[in-house]
Structure 1
Amino acid sequence: MVELNQDTRHGTLLLSIHDVGPRFANEVDRLRDLLGQVAPADKIALLVVPNHWGEAPITAKTPFASRLREWADAGAEIFVHGWFHKDDTQHTNPYTRLKAQHLTAREGEFVGLTIAEASARMAAGKALLEDICGRSVAGFVAPAWLYSIDTNNALAENGFSLAEDHWRIWHPPSGKVIGRGPVLTWASRSRARIMSSLFVARVMPPMLREARLARLAVHPGDTTIPAIMQSIQRALAALAFDHNIGRYDSLLPADLHPCAS
């Protein structure tokens, strides 16, 4: 792991790997190694999908479940990241349908769910991962960072301490926003999206140099594009030079922390 001069840093950098699950076990290992060049294991948040697209379930007493437990034991923050990561809702609201069709490739699972549907999937994911990891999950992040109003209500109902979208991090039970700022991420599903995300990754780190909070999120698909992997490495080095690498739970005020009495 690269040692950096803390005297040059401003604010906090949060790192996360999305879509963690047995379908992408090898890709997750590559991304953990990449982020691990500047961050210890307990400062790389893992966003775990319990059953990716209904085809890759995480079950107890399997090799992947054991690895997940090891990562949790090493201090990694484990987030519930949807249930299927697949949007199977028939959207009747035009605005919601627009977001579902153009902001993601059928992966905004929680963008159109009712509170009952959202709450049931959240509760199931939370129970599964806490049973496997032997500890409370850190929070919940919706696939593609897309939420319905009912989903937001279900977050508080299920007692998640942390949630995030493209622009903020908040404490669902109180609704208090505890961090603001864009998240730097990459897109790999088309040439146009690859090129635009590479451009953003060039210009965003200098813009975030003085920011109190910076976030960098990576996905398994990133590992299939060498240019994206190189871009992640450059952006990571730049952001880590200007920020202290932290944990999501470090943003919670003492009175909102789950360990508070």
Structure 2
Amino acid sequence: MTMRRLLLSIHDVGPRFETEVDRLVDHVSRHVPVQHLAMLVVPNHWGDHPLVAGSPFASRLRGWADRGVSLFAHGWYHRDDSRHTGAASRFKARHMTAGEGEFLGLNHATALQRMADGRALIEDISGRPVSGFVAPAWLYGAPALMALEQAGFALAEDHMKVWSPRTGTTLARGPVITWASRSRARIASSLAIAQILPPLLRFAPVVRIAVHPGDAHVPSLMLSIDDALRRVRRSHAPARYDDLLPARTTPCAS
């Protein structure tokens, strides 16, 4: 029987949220060993919190990588400065994120450059290949998807799947279990969804759970994260994202 896998990621890792990331690592590592975690690293959150080689946070990031944590490039600024023209893009930018869908409206050249720069910085700091790329808020415009095909990443994901940008092969399907903390209504809806999804995904080959720094400030969300991890662990074993790749393909050879 094929092993059912649990993939757990911590988003928005960088100097801006150092305290929150520490709390989340401590919290989720009671359920998932650190070496199975994925961290989605933002090189310069909103242009105000750069990840600098040789800094204390850079040393901590390298330490996590040395312990086996998978590092993903997670945009560059994590801020959406684009002017959206299409109705679908405007809807996503307005309702699916709070101004953080950085790669939703970027042109091809800018998207490709930010992907390359983010990968280079993270690999220089960690001394290891990045495992893949995930756009902020899981939102990609068509030019960003085209750039992703050319950027050489082994893995990418959105709300509903994990895939190989190199081949276009879908490696896992199903919604991410995640939480939203920016309003009472979103907290309530994410708590309800997190209660519903684990039993629905019980027989799924892969279940993904993603946590964000904002979750660390809301006790009800932290309790819900505990509950979801506990329930998913009954049917799924912690795994690494690159376990999805055939024959453990090198994560991100250029």
The alignment's TM-score, normalised by the length of structure 1, stands at 0.94
Match of 1:104 in 2: 97
Task: Find 1:221's aligned residue among 214, 220, 225.
Answer: 214
1:52/1:86 contact within 8 Å kept: yes
Match of 1:15 in 2: 8
Task: Find 2:17's aligned residue among 13, 21, 24.
Answer: 24
Partners of 1:229 and 1:10 lie apart in 2 by 27
Q: CA deviation at 1:93?
A: 1.7
Q: CA deviation at 1:38?
A: 1.5
Match of 1:207 in 2: 200
Distance change >3 Å, CA 103–CA 259, structure 1 → 2: closer
Q: CA deviation at 1:230?
A: 0.5
Match of 2:187 in 1: 194
Are positions 1:247 and 2:240 aligned together?
A: yes
Q: Which amino acid aligns with 2:250?
A: P
1:183/1:215 contact within 8 Å kept: yes
Match of 1:149 in 2: 142
Q: Deviations over 1:182-231 (max 9, x none)?
A: 10000000110000000011111111111111010000000111000000
Q: Deviations over 1:56-100 (max 9, x none)?
A: 000011000000000011111000000000000011222111110
Secondary structure, aligned partner of 1:13:
strand
Structure 1 window deviating more from structure 2 (10-19 vs 215-224): it is 10-19
Unaligned 5+ runs, structure 1: 1-6
Match of 2:58 in 1: 65
Partners of 2:224 and 2:62 lie apart in 1 by 30
Secondary structure, aligned partner of 2:7:
strand
Q: Which amino acid aligns with 1:250?
A: D
Are positions 1:39 and 2:15 aligned together?
A: no
Q: Deviations over 1:103-122 (max 9, x none)?
A: 10000000111110100110
1:10/1:209 contact within 8 Å kept: no
2:4/2:237 contact within 8 Å kept: yes
Unaligned 5+ runs, structure 2: none
Runs of 4+ in 1 over 4 A off after TM superposition: none
Give identity over the alignment, percent: 56
Match of 1:115 in 2: 108
Partners of 2:109 and 2:159 lie apart in 1 by 24
Task: Find 2:249's aligned residue among 235, 254, 257.
Answer: 257
Distance change >3 Å, CA 57–CA 211, structure 1 → 2: same
Are positions 1:138 and 2:131 aligned together?
A: yes
Secondary structure, aligned partner of 2:162:
strand
Match of 2:41 in 1: 48
Task: Find 1:158's aligned residue among 122, 126, 151.
Answer: 151
Are positions 1:232 and 2:244 aligned together?
A: no
Match of 1:77 in 2: 70
Distance change >3 Å, CA 143–CA 51, structure 1 → 2: same
Q: CA deviation at 1:156?
A: 2.0
Partners of 2:86 and 2:111 lie apart in 1 by 17
Secondary structure, aligned partner of 2:234:
helix
Secondary structure, aligned partner of 2:152:
coil
Q: CA deviation at 1:148?
A: 0.8
